[in-house]
Amino acid sequence: MNEIEFNRHRRLRRSSGLRAMVRESVLRKEDLIYPIFVVEGENVKNEVPSMPGVHQVSLDYLKEEMDKLEARGILSVIVFGVPAHKDDCGTEAYTENGIVQRAIRQIKEENPSLTVIADTCLCQYTDHGHCGVIDNGIILNDSSLELLTKTAVSQAKAGADVIAPSNMMDGFTAAIRKGLDEAGFSDIPVMSYAVKYASAFYGPFRDAAHSSPSFGDRKTYQMDPPNRLEALREAKSDVSEGADFLIVKPALSYLDIVREVKNETGLPVVAYNVSGEYAMIKAAAQNGWIDEKEVVMEKLTSMKRAGADLIVTYFALDAAKWIVEDH
C-alpha cells in the first residue's frame, strides 16, 4: 500500500471539534421563519390532520404561540389568515378588520420584538380558491393586481414589518411596491414569492388554509416544475420591480434553483420548506422509519448549503430547540 498516493480528507473529521471548525454551512435560530394560521372565533386550536403539530389558532391563542417563538429565539413569523367569510373577490383579504390585519396588530402590540411578515394573497379569501379575479373561468392578471395591492397596503397599515406576496400574477411586485410607496410605506420591504412552482407538495397547506381551488389548478400562474431558466427570469423581474427578498418555493426539490437565484441576484434568498415536505417527515418519523431530528436538521442545513439566507419552516420551533441542544 505504500506506493499508493492519496489525500487524507478524514483528518478533518476525526472529532466533533474538528468537524465544527471546518463546517461550511451553519443553521441559526435567526434563520428560521415560523408560519402560523389564524382563524376567526375564540378558543380555537385545531390541529391540521395532515400536518401533526401544526394548528390553526384563534386570536386568543396568539400570544401563547408568539411567546413560544420568542422563548426559542426565533425572530420572525409569517401570518396566514383563514377567514370565516369568502366571496368572489376576496374582500376579507383587504378589509381593515380582516383576520390577518387583527393578528398583525395584536402581535405588534403584545410581542413587538417579533418581525411580522404578512402573506399577501387572495386564495384563502376567495370562494373559488384562486389567487386572483375570475372572469368566465379565466384568472385575470391586471385586475388581480389592484386587489393584491389593496391587501398589501391594508397589512402595512395594520403594522406588518414585511409584505410577502405569493400570488404569482405578473407584475405583482411592481404593483405592490408602487402601492406601498404611494400609501406612505416606502420603508416596508417586499419579500416576493418570486419563484413559486405549481407543486404537489402544497397539499397539506391547503388543508390548513382552506385554499384549494374549486375548479382547475394554478398552473397558468405558478411555474412549471421542469423549468430552470424561467425561474431566473422570474427572479430577475422581481428584482427590477423592487423586491427586497426572493422566496423559492418549494425548497427541497428545488435546491438547484435556490443556488442559482442566490448566485444570479444580490438579494437575500428565502427557501420555503413547504407543508408536503413537513408531512412526509412527520409520517415517516411517527412510523419509526427515520430519526426526525436528524432528518430535519440535515434537510434545513441543505437549504443553507444551497444558498438560502432564511428558511420558512413548520419545524422552526423544534429546529430552534435542537440548535440550542447541539451547542
Q: Is there a binding annotation on residue 11? A: no
- Catalytic residue IDs: 196, 249
Three cell numbers written together for 131: 389567487
**Amino acid (1-letter code) at residue 8:** R
Are 93 and 127 spatial neighbours (Cβ–Cβ below 8 Å)?
no
Residue 165 has φ and ψ, to the nearest 5°, of -75, 130
Residue 126 has φ and ψ, to the nearest 5°, of -95, 145
Are 243 and 173 spatial neighbours (Cβ–Cβ below 8 Å)?
yes
Q: Is there a binding annotation on residue 123? A: yes
CA distance linking residue 71 with residue 74, whole number of Å: 8
Are 70 and 111 spatial neighbours (Cβ–Cβ below 8 Å)?
yes
Q: Is there a binding annotation on residue 14? A: no
Q: Is there a binding annotation on residue 121? A: yes
- How many CA atoms does the CB half-sphere of 214 hold within 13 Å? 13
Q: Is there a binding annotation on residue 206? A: yes
CA distance linking residue 229 with residue 196, whole number of Å: 13
Peptide bond into 250 cis (omega under 30): yes
* Kind of pairing between the strands at 162-165 and 138-140: unpaired
Q: Is there a binding annotation on residue 314? A: yes
CA distance linking residue 284 with residue 282, whole number of Å: 6
DSSP class per residue in 99-145? HHHHHHHHHHHH-TTSEEEEEE-STTTBTT--SSEEETTEEEHHHHH
Three cell numbers written together for 157: 397599515
Residue 163: CB partners within 8 Å, gap ≥ 6?
117, 118, 120, 152, 155, 156, 176, 180, 188, 189, 190, 191
Q: Is there a binding annotation on residue 89? A: no
Q: Is there a binding annotation on residue 254? A: no
CA distance linking residue 66 with residue 174, whole number of Å: 31
Q: Extract the annotated binding site for Zn(2+).
A: 121, 123, 131
Q: Extract the annotated binding site for 5-aminolevulinate.
A: 206, 218, 275, 314
Q: Extract the annotated binding site for Mg(2+).
A: 234
Q: Extract the annotated binding site.
A: 121, 123, 131, 206, 218, 234, 275, 314
